[in-house]
Amino acid sequence: MLDLVDSHCHLDFPDFEGQSAEIVARARAAGVRRMVTICTRLRSEPEVRALAEAHDGVFYAAGTHPMNAADEPLATVDELLALTKHPKFVGIGETGLDYHYTSESKDVQKESLRIHIAAARKSGLPLIIHARAADEDMAEILSEEFRNGAYSCVMHCFSSGPELARAALDLGFYLSMSGIATFKKSQALRDIFAAAPLDRVLVETDSPYLAPVPHRGKRNEPAFVAHTAATGADIFGLSPEEFADATTANFERLFSKVVDG
């Protein structure tokens, strides 16, 4: 049996309504013992928290997704820090920059990102970053803020270019592999992961989105992280068990509250 973690999923999304028990059971049957469900609007935090409280092995994080930044009140550092008191709250975000869909709100996205970084720095919990079509600004802000004070971070669902990957890795951050890495046309992305240190790689689904091959085009769910992990094992020349053990150890190092709690 593999020992896997889905480091990023969205169990509160409508695609999973009323099915959380079945989703978690299928994940466990696939060797996914733990998962982190992500809140993308702070007003949804109570519902996401309730899912984590209802299921062993389910933890949660919360923040304002960059695509929601213009539509939601700006989070405050104190507001985010208050959430960290919950024993199953393990990360700050997701936050970040998305210029593919919402470039018109880039200024408020940057402001929101810096608030989340401050909360991650003060809490000691990892920052969870969404980055799309914003590589240069993302690298600049992450590096600038790191010089103001260290913090930990994962580049969730990493699908950006090699320059942002290198900038993140140079800061000691982690890259998370999603189902995109299994797609036929994603060789350039697989090459980026192959060049990364194994001890800086996580796996995730970002479910219900981005289902890996052989489920591409269908609703994704945490159990399917096993398929992404199989691709990861091939990339690094490891057995599935070795890759699962490595990425789970990486998760426990980054999301240390999961272990400490």
Quick: pLDDT tens for 102-149. Answer: 999 999 999 999 999 999 999 999 999 999 999 999 999 999 999 999
Tell me the mean pLDDT in the region 239-244. Answer: 97
Which residues, including other chains, have CB under 8 Å from residue 196's CB and lie 6 or more apart?
165, 169, 175
pTM of the full structure: 0.97
In this predicted structure, what is the pLDDT of residue 260?
Answer: 65
How would residue 256 be classed by pLDDT, with cut points 50, 70 and 90?
Answer: very high
* Single-letter residue type at 253: R
Domain holding 131, by residue range, is 4-260
Q: Which of 226, 195, 201, 198 is nearest to 212 (CA)?
A: 226
Q: What's the token pair of residue 81?
A: 């820090």
Do 59 and 88 touch, CB atoms closer than 8 A? yes
Q: What's the token pair of residue 200?
A: 């800086």
Which residues, including other chains, have CB under 8 Å from residue 241's CB and lie 6 or more apart?
2
Mean pLDDT of the chain: 97
In this predicted structure, what is the pLDDT of residue 217?
Answer: 94
Quick: pLDDT tens for 151-165. Answer: 999 999 999 999 999
116 is in an annotated binding site: no
86 is in an annotated binding site: no
Percentage of residues in the chain having pLDDT higher than 70: 99
Quick: pLDDT tens for 19-50. Answer: 999 999 999 999 999 999 999 999 999 999 99
In this predicted structure, what is the pLDDT of residue 13?
Answer: 97
Reduced to 3 states, what is the DSSP secondary structure of residue 202? Answer: strand
In this predicted structure, what is the pLDDT of residue 1?
Answer: 80
Tell me the mean pLDDT in the region 218-233. Answer: 98
215 is in an annotated binding site: no
SS (H, E, C) 53-101: HHCCCEEEEECCCHHHCCCCCCCCHHHHHHHCCCCCEEEEEEEEEECCC
Which residues, including other chains, have CB under 8 Å from residue 8's CB and lie 6 or more apart?
36, 38, 94, 128, 156, 157, 176, 178, 204, 205, 206
| Residue 23's CATH number | 3.20.20.140
In this predicted structure, what is the pLDDT of residue 261?
Answer: 53
Total structural domains within the chain: 1
100 is in an annotated binding site: no
